[in-house]
Amino acid sequence: DAKTTQPPSMDCAEGRAANLPCNHSTISGNEYVYWYRQIHSQGPQYIIHGLKNNETNEMASLIITEDRKSSTLILPHATLRDTAVYYCIAAWRAGSYQLTFGKGTKLSVIP
Amino acid sequence: EAQVTQNPRYLITVTGKKLTVTCSQNMNHEYMSWYRQDPGLGLRQIYYSMNVEVTDKGDVPEGYKVSRKEKRNFPLILESPSPNQTSLYFCASSLYLGRGLSPLHFGNGTRLTVT
């Protein structure tokens, strides 16, 4: 799997968009970008994933650059419940089963 | 309800006393995996299993064993626990789609303390 790099922490005002960046400069053409989050010490929760097109679901949007070397997870209207550690991982969906999570970004949503 | 169930949630034990942490999923998932989480180190994969009787090492397998005799269960075994195995453990499962995995479903974690 490609190595991903994320900032260790970020703050966001409640109600504003939270934009969480992830660098994956060594990503290969068949590796997907997955985002998970972990609230306190609960089990991580899947948010969204994509290959090269931008993706949106009820939780978030994922913007992947054209060269696929970086991506941004967007939480459009952050709430206090979005305070969590967010993990970006690059995994070859077609066969890479050794998934490495890394340390993630601690997002603090501030009232 | 679709879920991954780990037991126990909390466990305190002493060095060298064998223990097993159970993991069960009710989603008929082929793929199951164990992670440990330590402050400052993120989530690290211990072992994973692609299907019954098929297991492979992750990033930190030393000191752990697993078995996959049934599709729904994937127990984590510590034959001789040591204090450096004090950690928060997560089990996860996923559906094998033929061309990869669906997103992972995680259990609620087991907090293990070895004294």
Tens of pLDDT, residue by residue over A56-100, are 999 999 999 999 999 999 999 999 999 999 999 887 654 456 677
Distance CA B98, CA A110 (A): 43
pLDDT value of residue A94: 45
Distance CA B14, CA B58 (A): 25
pLDDT confidence of B73, banded at 50, 70, 90? very high
Best mutation target among B104, B108, B110 (most A Cβ atoms within 10 Å) is: B104
Per DSSP, chain A holds a count of helices (H) and strands (E) of 0, 9
Nearest to A87 by CA among A73, A77, A70, A97: A73
Cβ atoms of B46 and B61 within 8 Å: the answer is yes
Spell out which residues of chain B touch residue A100, defining contact as CB-CB under 8 Å.
44-45, 59
Is residue B80 over pLDDT 80? yes
Calculate ∠ Cα B57-B42-B24, nearest 5°. 55
Distance CA B25, CA B72 (A): 5
pLDDT tens for B84-105 read: 999 999 999 988 765 566 788 9
Is residue A2 over pLDDT 80? no
Q: Residue A33 phi/psi, 5° resolution? A: -105, 125
Tokens of A66: 């054209």
Is residue B77 over pLDDT 90? yes
pLDDT confidence of B40, banded at 50, 70, 90? confident
> Is some CB atom of chain A closer than 8 A to the CB atom of B5?
no
Contact state of B56 with A92 under an 8 Å Cβ cutoff: no
Percent of chain A with pLDDT over 90: 67
Question: What DSSP designation does B102 have?
Answer: P
Spell out which residues of chain A touch residue B97, defining contact as CB-CB under 8 Å.
93
pLDDT tens for B41-51 read: 888 899 999 88
